[in-house]
Structure 1
Amino acid sequence: MGRRRRSSPLPPRHGVDATRVVLRTTDELLIDALRRAPALSDLDEAGLLARFAAREIVDLSGSPLDPSTPTTPGAPVYLYRDLPVEVAIPFDLPVLHADDDIIVVDKPHFLATMPRGVHVVETALVRLRREFGTDLISPAHRLDRLTAGVLLFTRRPQARRDYQALFADRLVQKEYRAAAPVRTDLRLPADVENRILKDSGDLRARVVDGEVNARSRVELLDASSDATAGLAEYRLTPHTGRTHQLRLHMAGLGIPIDGDPLYPEVRAELAARPDSGDFTRPLRLVAHRLEFDDPLTGRRRVFCSTRSVLSEDEVSEDGV
């Protein structure tokens, strides 16, 4: 596992963690550096000064900073941002299991795992922190915002490392379900192996030459098609965890997952729908099953989603 980032010196507020900004400039006043930070584009000078006055802009040790403090390149600064105005995600977040160590949910499509960019409150993490009344909840792994299904969170810091290690060390057996077209000339099951890279800032991953780092098994599970869309159900088993791996592998086989706005080509209109409150075209990909040996109890754990990729149980025409 990579080096673990130190926890924020500011506690979460309303279920949302404080923002961490790493300064990159030198010979500049802190107030000027923060005004130009892309992550704080929603804050004006008055908003920043108010936070300085409230002693809510602090360094890694939690010591309040002054707006005239000279910047130190590479030093993190922490502060609270105003919560953005977000499009409400009109779907429930069912809890499949909860105990003293973990919470397992059946995440709906369109709901992000944790705050990122414009999605802050409308995320599974913030919903759970508010529902359970504790800011100690943390995701053990992630699902893409457009992907639904089984998602595991830890409930206390003492358990976090053990459960996160399960996913980092690939000790969790995962099974996904997807709805996609049928190709009569495609022999299945098929094992797909290639090398996938994704550059920071690029929406899409891509297949490149080189050592294999992405492996998936694709099986046709239900050949009877969806009456409305001509789709069949597939079982997808990832043996690695590259970003967009299953979506890219399905598109490479000529059977792209229904509702995918990125593969095999970008469909900007489809990608923009959720942000305008249109949830009628979900990506029909569900994390159907997680199975693992519990690192704390040794028990075999199996959690399954109740969502079907061939139904439209999460379709909303007006976003309410």
Structure 2
Amino acid sequence: MLDILFEDEYLIAINKPAGLLVHRTSIAAEETIFALQMLRDQIGQHVYPVHRLDRPTSGVLLFSKKEEILPILKEQFADRSVQKTYLAIVRGIPTIKSDLIDHPLTSERSNKLQEAQTHYNVLAEAEIPFDTTGRYPTSRYALLELKPETGRTHQLRRHLAHIRHYILGDKKHGDNKQNQFFEKQFRMMNLLLHARKLEFTHPVTKDRISVVAELPTHFQKTITDLGWRELDL
């Protein structure tokens, strides 16, 4: 059963679990379970995905119940009037606590360079008494709030890799030593990237809608493991 965060006669938003595909794709042809299918079966009607989340990413995922309003919603994403807020746990602590990553990314489809911008803000810092690199007696981590201005494929994961603050659990763009350490020490095998909040204008009522998704268990556990017990998220 999917966790429904918002619903009216036009729209429905869920808290997508990590590891669940949004819809069928040739990249994972062997999969038979998708958020689109599960939600359709759960509410008994067709739904249409407005945007996407990477398979390992959890959090707010918006669907339309009416195909005719899809272009309005997609236009909001295209003109950047939708505000997306993510939380991520990364290796190391950025020296600049709040900044804009303005770094073009190559499109995986056309191989063309595309502009890409991500704002980040450091919410919490941690230092634990483990040597994960073979060079230092302790290891440092940060909890970041991320707000992408653009929506490129794997943008947040690639941008954090670009500034060498890899998102923990990222097996494609991350730091394998860190991933292996967290698997062994904390039994954490998930990508620590969560779509926390989605803000948009309702295409029919014109109200400003804000949908918030609670953190999944694996993310909450890592927050506890790193000693962040008094966070107001």
TM-score scaled by length of structure 1: 0.57
Aligned to 1:218: 120
In 1, Cα distance between the equivalents of 2:48 and 2:189?
29
1:232-264: per-residue Cα shift (whole Å, max 9, x none)? 210011111111111111111111000001114
Point out which structure has higher relative CO (alpha carbons under 8 A, 6+ apart). 2
8 Å CA contact 1:120, 1:126 repeated in 2: no
Aligned to 2:230: none
Alignment of 1:1-320 (within 5 A): 93-117=2-26, 118=29, 120-134=31-45, 136-183=46-93, 186-200=95-109, 213-224=115-126, 231-264=141-174, 280-307=188-215, 310-312=219-221
Shift in CA distance, 119/236, structure 1 to aligned 2, threshold 3 Å: farther
Shift in CA distance, 247/255, structure 1 to aligned 2, threshold 3 Å: same
In 2, Cα distance between the equivalents of 1:130 and 1:170?
31
Between the two proteins, what is the percent identity of the paired residues?
29
Question: Which secondary structure does the structure 2 equivalent of 1:223 belong to?
Answer: strand
Matched residues, number: 205
8 Å CA contact 2:168, 2:175 repeated in 1: no
Deviation at 1:179, TM superposition (A): 0.6
8 Å CA contact 1:252, 1:264 repeated in 2: no
* The structure with more helix, counted as a fraction of residues: 2
1:244-299: per-residue Cα shift (whole Å, max 9, x none)? 111111111111000001114689x98xxxxxxxx951110011111122121111
In 1, Cα distance between the equivalents of 2:75 and 2:5?
21
In 1, Cα distance between the equivalents of 2:30 and 2:21?
7
Aligned to 2:229: none
| Root-mean-square deviation (Å) | 3.0
Q: Where do 5+ consecutive residues of structure 2 fail to align?
A: 131-138, 181-186, 223-233
In 2, Cα distance between the equivalents of 1:243 and 1:258?
18
In 1, Cα distance between the equivalents of 2:90 and 2:156?
12
Moved more, 103-112 or 216-225: 216-225
In 2, Cα distance between the equivalents of 1:191 and 1:251?
14
Shift in CA distance, 109/159, structure 1 to aligned 2, threshold 3 Å: same
Between structure 1 and structure 2, the one with the greater Rg is 1
In 1, Cα distance between the equivalents of 2:32 and 2:41?
10
**Paired residue type of 1:292:** F
TM-score scaled by length of structure 2: 0.77
Question: Which secondary structure does the structure 2 equivalent of 1:179 belong to?
Answer: strand
8 Å CA contact 1:108, 1:148 repeated in 2: yes
Deviation at 1:180, TM superposition (A): 0.9
Q: Where do 5+ consecutive residues of structure 1 fail to align?
A: 1-91, 271-278, 314-320
**Paired residue type of 1:192:** I
